[in-house]
Amino acid sequence: MNHKEIRLKFEQASAFFATNQTRSYDFRRSCLEALERGIRSHEKGLYLALKKDLNKSEHEAFITEISLVYGELSYIKKRFRRWMRPKTVLPSIAQMPSSVRVHPEPYGVCLIMSPWNYPALLTLSPLIGAIAAGNVCLLKPSAYSPHTSSAIATIVRESLPEGVVFVVEGGRAENETLLDLPFDYTFFTGSPTVGRLVMEKASRHLTPVTLELGGRSPVIVDESADIEKTAKRLTFGKLTNAGQTCIAPNHVFVHRSVADQLVEELVQNFSRTFDSEEHYRKDYPRIVNRKHFDRLMQLIEGQEIAVGGQGDSERLQIEPTVLLNSSKDSPVMAEEIFGPILPVIPYDSLEDVIAEIKTEPKPLALYFFTKDKERAQRVIDEISYGGGCINDCLLHIASPYAPFGGVGNSGMGRYHGVDSFR
C-alpha cells in the first residue's frame, strides 16, 4: 500500500469517526459481535496462516492465541456497557451544591502496530478494546507474518462496517508513512528499539502511546522449590512458540544446591521435544526468518551445552537448548534471547541475585520458584518488573481481570479488560 492509499484510509477513518456512530453502545456491541463471528468463521484460516508463518500447530495456536482472543471478547462484551457510563464524583466545597460527572469518551483514530510472534492475538486483542471504547483503527500487522496479516485483513473487510477498521499490510515504508500521521492514539507491540522510534514520532503530534515492549525476563529458583514441577513449567514457558515470546523466561538463576537437579530435569524435558522427529518437524514452531535463526545460532557458539544446540537452517528450527555457566559478559547474556535457548546460572545468595537483576533494565516479566512466602514477597517488593508469576511462567498474561504491560525499558501503559477500554 503506497503513501497516498494509506493517507486515504486515515482520512476515511477520521471521517467515519466524525459521524459519531461509534459513540453508541449498540454500534460498538454490533461491531464486537460481527468481529467475533468473523473470527469464528475464519478460525481454520487463521490456523493455516499461523502454520505457514511460524509452523504453529493448531493446538498451540488455539491455546496461545485464538482462545485468548475469545476470552477477551467475552469478558469485554459483558462489561463495557457499565464502563461507558458517566461516573459521579464528589464536588469540592467551591462547587457545591453542583454535581460532577466524568464522561468516558473515545480517543478517535487509533494506530495499532502488532508483531509477528503472536500475530493474531497481539493484533486482535488491542483491537477489541479499541472498538469497545468507541475508536476507529488502522491496523499494521508485521510483514514477517504475512499470511496471518492477510487472514486478519479478510476478517476485518468481511465483518466490520467500512471505515471502522482498516488493515495496512506491508513493511518498513508503510510503517514510516503511518508514524508520520496525526493519530489520536498509538498502540505498539515490539522491541524497545522500535518502541523509542514510535514514541519519538508520536510526540510530534502529542499522540499518547501504549508501548508493549520486551526485555530479559529472569527466573529465580531457590533451594525450597519443587524442582520437578519447576522444570516442567520452565519448559512450557521457554518452548512455547520456540521461545519467541516477549515474556518467555530468558535465563535462570538457580540456587547452587539444586542446580544439578534442575539441569537434569530440564534436559529430560527439553529432549522430549526433539526425540520425536515427527513432532519436531511437524509441530515445533520455527524461527521467524533466517536473520533471527543465524543470530540465535551465534549465541550458542562457544557456550557449554547441556542439551540441544543444533539447528536446521532449511527448516529454521533450533533444538531446545540448555546452556551452563554462561558468563555475564557472553553475548547470550547481553540481549533478550527470543528463542529456545535457556542459560542456567547457579547462585549462592538471593541478595546477590536481586542486586544483579536490579542493575539491568526493568524486565517485562519475572518468575520466582519457591515454597517460601516471605522470600516471594521480598522479590515482589524489591524488584520492579511488568508482571510475573510465583511458581509458574507466562500465565499472568491470560487473565482479562489483570492489566498487562511493562515498566521502564519494557514498556508503558497497560491493557486487557477494562485497561484496554481506558
| pLDDT the model gives residue 324 | 97
| pLDDT the model gives residue 1 | 83
Over 90: is that where the pLDDT of 139 sits? Answer: yes
Strand-pairing partners, residue 343, are: 323
| pLDDT the model gives residue 281 | 80
In 3-state terms, what secondary structure has residue 315? coil
Average pLDDT over residues 231-256: 98
Average pLDDT over residues 64-89: 97
Average pLDDT over residues 145-160: 98
Residues in the chain: 422
pLDDT in tens, 393-409: 999 999 999 999 999 99
Give the C-alpha separation, 148 to 321, whole Å.
Answer: 28
pLDDT band for 230, please (50, 70, 90 cuts): very high
CA triple 71-115-134, angle to 5 deg = 55
pLDDT in tens, 165-198: 999 999 999 999 999 999 999 999 999 999 999 9
pLDDT in tens, 5-62: 999 999 999 999 999 999 999 999 999 999 999 999 999 999 999 999 999 999 999 9
Over 90: is that where the pLDDT of 144 sits? Answer: yes
Average pLDDT over residues 109-132: 98
| pLDDT the model gives residue 83 | 98
367 sits in which H/E element = strand 365-369
| pLDDT the model gives residue 336 | 96
pLDDT in tens, 360-384: 999 999 999 999 999 999 999 999 9
Over 90: is that where the pLDDT of 145 sits? Answer: yes
**pTM, entire model:** 0.95
Q: Cβ(251)–Cβ(219) under 8 Å? A: yes
Residue numbers annotated as active site? 212, 246
Q: Where are the alpha helices (DSSP H) in 344-383?
A: 350-359, 373-382
Average pLDDT over residues 235-264: 98
Average pLDDT over residues 105-122: 98
Give the C-alpha separation, 379 to 375, whole Å.
Answer: 6
DSSP string, 385-412: -SEEEES-SSGGGG-TTS-B---GGGEE
Over 90: is that where the pLDDT of 282 sits? Answer: no
Contacts for 248 with CB less than 8 Å, ≥ 6 apart: 217, 237, 238, 240, 241, 337, 338, 393, 394
The most distant pair of C-alpha atoms in the chain lies apart, rounded to whole Å, by 75
Q: Cβ(335)–Cβ(327) under 8 Å? A: no
pLDDT band for 94, please (50, 70, 90 cuts): very high
| pLDDT the model gives residue 334 | 93
List the chain domain ranges. Answer: 3-213+410-421, 218-399
Q: Cβ(114)–Cβ(123) under 8 Å? A: yes
**Record: fold of 218-399:** Aldehyde Dehydrogenase; Chain A, domain 2 (3.40.309)
The class that CATH gives domain 3-213+410-421 is alpha beta
DSSP string, 167-225: E---SHHHHHHHHTS--SEEEEES-HHHHHHHHHHHHTTT--EEEE-----EEEE-TTS
DSSP string, 221-270: E-TTS-HHHHHHHHHHHHHGGGG--TTS--EEEEEHHHHHHHHHHHHHHH
Over 90: is that where the pLDDT of 100 sits? Answer: yes
> What are the angstrom distances between the C-alpha of 114 and each of 222, 276, 325, 341?
36, 33, 35, 24
Q: Which single residue is written with the C-alpha cell 522449590?
A: 225
Give the C-alpha separation, 24 to 42, whole Å.
Answer: 27
| pLDDT the model gives residue 274 | 74
Tell me the torsion sign for CA atoms 384, 125, 397, 288. negative
| pLDDT the model gives residue 82 | 98
pLDDT band for 272, please (50, 70, 90 cuts): confident
- Residue 89 sits at φ, ψ, to 5 deg, of -120, 160
Over 80: is that where the pLDDT of 275 sits? Answer: no
The angle, 0 to 180 degrees and rounded to 10, between the axes of the packed helices 121-132 and 67-84 is 10
Over 90: is that where the pLDDT of 414 sits? Answer: yes
pLDDT in tens, 284-309: 999 999 999 999 999 999 999 999 99
Q: Cβ(388)–Cβ(248) under 8 Å? A: no
Q: Where are the alpha helices (DSSP H) in 276-367?
A: 277-283, 290-300, 350-359
> What's the mean per-residue pLDDT of the chain?
96
Burial class (CB in 10 A: 0-12, 13-18, 19+), 140: buried
Over 90: is that where the pLDDT of 322 sits? Answer: yes
